[in-house]
Amino acid sequence: MPKIVAATGNEGVANALRQVTPDVCAAYPITPQTELMQRFSSFVSNGQVQTELVLVESEHSAMSACVGASAAGGRVATATSSQGLALMWEILYIASGLRLPIVMPVVNRSLSAPLNIHCDHSDAMGARDSGWIQIWSENAQEAYDNTIQAFRIAEHLDIRLPVMICYDGFIIGHSISRIEYLEDGEVQNFVGEFRQVNPLLDIEHPLSYGPLILPDYYMEYRKAQDEVASKVSKIVLDVADEFKKLSGRKYGLFETYRLDDADIGIVILNSAAGTTKDVIDEFRDRGIKAGLLKPRLYRPFPYVEMGEALKYLKAICVLDRSDAFGGSFGQMFLDISTSLYPYDKKPLLINKIYGLGGRDYLPEHAEHVLNELIEITRSGKVKAYKEYIGVRE
């Protein structure tokens, strides 16, 4: 029987980690860490989970310890946010390059400077090309569900790659909402036993991790890593199917909302998708064919599937809660543009940057964007391809 609770997103994800019971969790216990790790460390202290919790002196060390523990043979998890993820950067590539199935919730928050602790997606977007799988979550339920599924995806023998589960800091992390918990036993059955294929601690079969690979072989390893990414989508879908049987909740590579017959559409990640869906309902009530696409598997990016889902529309706005500075566009805009590039007939695309550093995303922002899309379909003209919204002049 599922248990329904009122809990913060961080509490929910900490509970998912407790239910999975990783062998090792290495974490840096104070800022920029979140309440998630505080909750999890309480579980450890209270004997409610048998995980070896290693409290290290920085996020760089946290990820390094995770790399060691995972290579050694353990099921490993950690969590981070904002500057913490930025400090892990070097080791993120080592975790994915060594193909270590580490699971890490990332509570999305902005990057300094200016110093700010609130939600945006700059942290995870900065790590989008690090070889980690990224799964994004709209609300606390999705964050909880995705964390459980992440272990199965990461540890799948065809891939063995680390996974980040992204959800919005404060908006989801700190707010209390309804979460349906699975039973401990159900979660443990679902994730099963973990077996590291090449454990360093297997002293009968000594082996080496992290050798020097020079120009004669480096590209072969990189090509193999690029190739393994192509297997991820199918595994994500298979795990989602199995999870649906257990929980009744359906997941895919992305979620579409009233998109099938839409003329105009919004592509948006995480919690802001919820607000946008309400506004889309209002527009639909007025007879305007508006829809939404919310990516879930963001890395590897399902370019083909996204392109197929979006190519029929007349105009699309991609809303990014982060910006790629240097005259570029928001990161997701670049990915969506790429997924539509192969088609001769394709929607007009615009990019809005919103919600940086925790700036509220309000229904009127979605209305503003949808009205602009209506105008674009009418006139066939785009005023500005990229624009900040919710910003003072």
Partner 1 sequence: MKLKGWKEVTPGAVILEAGNAIEFKTGSWRAFKPVWKKEHCIQCLLCWLYCPDMAIKVKDGRRAEFDYDFCKGCGICALECPGKKGIKAIIMVEEEK
- Binding interface with partner 1 (CB under 8 A): 97-100, 160, 197-198, 205-211, 213, 216-217, 219-221, 223-224, 227-228
Nearer to partner 1, 132 or 361 (CB): 132
Count of CB atoms within 10 A of residue 275's CB?
A: 17
Shortest Å distance, C-beta 81 to partner 1? 27
Q: How far is the CB of 210 from partner 1 (least distance, A)?
A: 8
Nearer to partner 1, 12 or 131 (CB): 131
Nearer CB in complex with partner 1: 46/208: 208
Q: How far apart are CA 56 and CA 61, in angstroms?
A: 6
User: Which of 220, 174, 233, 231 is CA-nearest to residue 38?
Assistant: 174
Closest to 330 (Cα-Cα) out of 128, 162, 112, 176: 128
Query: How many CA atoms lie within 13 Å of 23's alpha carbon, on the beta-carbon side?
Result: 19
**Closest separation in Å from C-beta 162 to partner 1:** 11
CB of residue 147 to partner 1, shortest distance in Å? 24
- For partner 1, give the closer residue by CB, 223 or 244: 223
**The one-letter amino acid at 61:** S
CB of 200 to partner 1, least distance (A): 9
Min dist. Cβ of residue 75 to partner 1 (A): 17
Strands 176-181 and 3-8: antiparallel
Q: CA dist 286 to 278, 289, 315, 341, Å? A: 13, 9, 18, 32
Tell how strand 133-137 and strand 297-299 pair up: antiparallel
Q: Which of 130, 18, 139, 133 is nearest to 77 (CA)?
A: 18
Q: Which residue, 219 or 391, has its beta carbon nearer to partner 1?
A: 219
CA-angle at 68, arms to 65 and 72, nearest 5°: 140
* C-beta closer to partner 1: residue 67 or 290: 67
